[in-house]
Amino acid sequence: MKESKAYFASGCFWGTQYYFQKQHGVTKTTVGYSGGDVKNPKYEEVCNGKTGHVETVEVVFNPRIVSFEQLAKIFFETHDPTQKGGQGPDIGDQYRSVVFYLDEEQRKIAYELVLQLKNKGLDIATSIEQFKNFYPAEDYHQKYYKKTGGNPYCHRYVKRFDS
């Protein structure tokens, strides 16, 4: 089985991971940091806003079971893609909404989904950026809600696509 990867940032990575790890066909999720210029950043460095990194979830999936498009729809339906400068109460550039694409197919799908949402009248703040790096976060951040039994405080499911 050849697995694929996708990288999504939608506010606090705990909530983003919470939804993706429940998806059939997803074999692994890892929270971490993407898009910045500092190698192996620590949480405190990312929070100070000077690394350029965004809290991101690496999603490893079986494309025969779940497609990148299905995962991208989950991404857009489990956070507010119209919020600029953060997500819910989490404000700061490290919480912005981003699809980090790995190839032309992922880029095209992400742009198409943004266009569909814009055609529904939504002012989408999500950026679509070429993937350049991913650094796993500290162990205490991994599968946070599974460990604590909590629920996301700034993520909730809102149906935005017809299929």
Catalytic residues: 12
Rounded to whole angstroms, what are the CA distances from 63 to 24, 44, 145? 11, 35, 26
Enumerate the β-bridge partners of residue 130: 101
What residue type is 18 in one-letter code? Y
Residue 148, H or E segment: helix 144-148
Eight-state DSSP code of residue 143: T
DSSP string, 80-102: -TT-SSEETTEESGGG-EEEEES
